[in-house]
Amino acid sequence: MSGTQDRLVYMANQIARNFAVQGEAVAIAATARHILDFWDPRMREAILAGDRAGLSDIAAGAIARLQASP
């Protein structure tokens, strides 16, 4: 994790991985909710604006959901 963006991607993937056992749809919602509840706005803005290539499917789904209704 060399920079903040890398760290945010890592954190999102880590959250997503721990919710994954609940199934993709639930995990995407739970990951988005977790980020909304616990991340400072600048962190959310940074991951929304950043490169999403490193995000897992669930994390990417969560970020997309936040993008749709931040």
Partner 1 sequence: MGYEPQADFGTPEVRADTQVTLTIDGRSVTVPAGTSVMRAATTSGGAIPSLCATDSLAAFGSCRMCLVEVEGMRGTPASCTTPVAQDMIVRTQTPRLEKLRRGVMELYISDHPLDCLTCSANNDCELQDTAAEVGLRDVRYGYAGAHHLGQQPDLSNPYFLFAPDKCIVCSRCVRACDEVQGTLALSVEGRGFASKISAGQRADDFLSSDCVSCGACVQACPTSALMEKSVKEHGKPERAVITTCAYCGVGCTFRAEMRGEQLVRMVPWKDGKANRGHSCVKGRFAWGYAHHQDRITTPMIRESVDQPWREVSWDEALAFTAGRISAIKAQHGARALGGITSSRCTNEETFLVQKLVRAGFGSNNVDTCARVCHSPTGYGLKTTFGTSAGTQDFDSVMDADVILVIGANPTDAHPVFASRMKRRLRQGAQLIVIDPRRIDLVRSPHVQAAHHLPLQPGTNVAVLTAMAHVIVTEGLADEDFVRDRCDWDEYQDWARFVSDPQHSPEFLEAVTKVPAAELRAAARLYATGGNGAIYYGLGVTEHSQGSSTVMAIANLAMATGNIGRPGVGVNPLRGQNNVQGACDMGSFPHELSGYRHISDGATRTMFEQDWGVALDPEPGLRIPNMLDAAVDGTFKAIYIQGEDILQSDPNTHHVAAGLAAMDCVIVHDLFLNETANYAHVFLPGSTFLEKNGTFTNAERRIQPVRKVMEPANGLEDWQVTQALANALGLGWAYTHPAQILDEIARLTPTFAGVSWDRLEREASLQWPVNDQFPDGAPVMYVDGFVRGKGHFVVTDYVPTDEKTGPRYPLLLTTGRILSQYNVGAQTRRTANTAWHPEDVLEIHPLDAENRGLKEGDWARLASRTGETSLRVSVTDRVAPGVVYTTFHHPETQANVVTTDYSDWATNCPEYKVTAVQVTPSNGPSDWQEDYAGLTARSRRIAAEPAE
Give whichever of 18 and 67 is closer to partner 1, judged by the CB atom: 18
* 39 binding partner 1? (CB under 8 A): yes
- Non-local CB neighbours of 66 within 8 Å, separated by 6+ positions: 32, 35, 36, 44, 48
* 65 binding partner 1? (CB under 8 A): no
CA distance 9 to 52: 8
* 20 binding partner 1? (CB under 8 A): yes
Binding region for partner 1 (CB under 8 A) = 1, 4, 7, 11, 14-15, 17-18, 20-22, 34, 37-43
